[in-house]
Amino acid sequence: MEAILRLEKVSKAFGTQQVLEAFDLSVEEGEFVTLLGPSGCGKTTVLNLVAGFLRPDSGTIYLRGKPVNDVITRKRQLGMVFQTWALFPHMNAFDNVAFGLRMQRKPKEQIEKKVREMLDLVRMPSVSEKYPSQLSGGMRQRIALARGLAVEPSILLLDEPLSNLDAALRKEMQVELKRIHDQLRVTTVFVTHSQEEALVMSDRIAVMKGGKIIRIDVPSELYHDPRSKFVCTFLGDANLFEGKVIEVSGSTAKVQSGDLVLKALLRAPVSPGSALSLAVRPERVSVQREASLSADNSIKARIKEMVFTGNSITYYLDAAGRELVALEYQKAAQAIPERGTEVVAEFDAKAFSILEAE
């Protein structure tokens, strides 16, 4: 299938600062792709290039198979929701949503019908007479989304639209955006620096750093098999171990990391003596009073700090000077060990992700 959006070797610099270099990205029809990265990684620049607000210095952008470098913004048939939502304050909600259709000189009845449909879609059917200043942040967000979708864009661009909302509303809108995407199947490119938003909504996540995509994959793959240290630490928390392979038997390796010997399941063959970076997610580590025989790895530690968040407890452990983080979900009410308790942190050999050297 032909990708609906494709960026090929796109470069962009602002003055002397190279923001994107030979950037490639391909998005399939109907996909929800997230560009995730820290601020300054170039993710918003990608969006501005696709929208046509910026011109690439070199490389080509294809929309529906056609190069669009020389096509002006308004001819690209896109929809966009901005970080500040950028509603037109002098127009009421109805006129805001109708704006794109009016620019296309659609007949009046058709505009009326489409706007009602969009306001229903974002569950704001009764605010059409209200001006943006009379609406709450969450409502403005929904109207901005309705406005972007009303023109039936071939691609919907979302530029951190949730970052101006409070935490509870953000959660609600994540689910809402996902519902709307599932309903309309409109190709969506979403830019965010929030790993949570990316994991919740995306079909695929492109993790970006320094103007490059480090890796692009489905959320679960990225989370469970991050492969690089950057992806591993940017998407969730992790305990990292640097070490040297001392013994390989079948698909398990013994790795010496400091004074610890760890057993890790291998996905690719390694030779003894080579360096290896390992990561294990906090929720894969269990905190036990006494060592059990079945665990592949058990590390003696002392509880340094713990954070109780209702459904889970995060333990910060001190294992002979090394910090370990463990997260346990509270499936039943249980006694919480005290600070300073000597415990054993345990996890399986297959809990490890093996990271590539950077």
- SS3 call for 199: helix
The correct pick among 67, 89, 125, 258 for binding another protein (CB under 8 A) is: 89
Q: Measure the CA–CA gap between 230 and 183, rounded to whole angstroms.
A: 34
Helix, strand, coil % (nearest 5) of the chain?
25, 35, 35
CB of 269 to another protein, least distance (A): 50
Q: Of 97-105, 180-188, 231-239, 283-291, which segment contacts another protein by CB under 8 A? A: 97-105
What residues form DSSP beta bridges with 275? Answer: 244
Q: Of 127-135, 195-203, 240-248, 327-335, which segment contacts another protein by CB under 8 A? A: 127-135
The correct pick among 104, 128, 154, 233 for binding another protein (CB under 8 A) is: 104
CA distances from 76 to 58, 70, 154, 166, 231 (A): 19, 10, 9, 33, 33
Which residues in 52-81 contact another protein (CB under 8 A)? 52-53, 73-74, 76, 78-80
Q: Measure the CA–CA gap between 219 and 221, rounded to whole angstroms.
A: 6
Q: Of 25-33, 47-55, 208-216, 276-284, which segment contacts another protein by CB under 8 A? A: 47-55
94 binds another protein (CB under 8 A): no
336 binds another protein (CB under 8 A): no
Alpha carbons within 13 angstroms on the beta-carbon side of residue 224 total: 8
In whole angstroms, what separates CA 277 from the centre of its chain? 23
H helices of 68-218, in order, are 93-103, 108-121, 137-150, 167-184, 195-201
Evaluate whether 281 touches 237 at the Cβ level (below 8 Å).
yes
- Comparing CB distances to another protein, the nearer of 82 and 316 is 82
Q: Measure the CA–CA gap between 56 and 59, rounded to whole angstroms.
A: 7
- Comparing CB distances to another protein, the nearer of 79 and 138 is 79
CB of 273 to another protein, least distance (A): 55
46 binds another protein (CB under 8 A): no
154 binds another protein (CB under 8 A): no
Angle, CA of 160, 217 and 180, to the nearest 5°:
45
- Comparing CB distances to another protein, the nearer of 38 and 89 is 89
Q: Of 21-29, 88-96, 262-270, 299-307, which segment contacts another protein by CB under 8 A? A: 88-96
Q: Measure the CA–CA gap between 237 and 314, rounded to whole angstroms.
A: 11
CB of 92 to another protein, least distance (A): 8
Q: Amino acid letter at 156?
A: L
Q: Amino acid letter at 77?
A: Q
315 binds another protein (CB under 8 A): no
- Comparing CB distances to another protein, the nearer of 14 and 308 is 14
The correct pick among 3, 13, 51, 265 for binding another protein (CB under 8 A) is: 51
Q: Of 89-97, 114-122, 307-315, 332-340, which segment contacts another protein by CB under 8 A? A: 89-97
- SS3 call for 123: coil
138 binds another protein (CB under 8 A): no
Angle between helix axes 137-150 and 108-121 (nearest 10 degrees) is: 140
- Chain residues binding another protein by CB under 8 A are 51-53, 73-74, 76, 78-80, 82-84, 86-91, 99-100, 103-104, 131-133, 140, 147, 151, 157
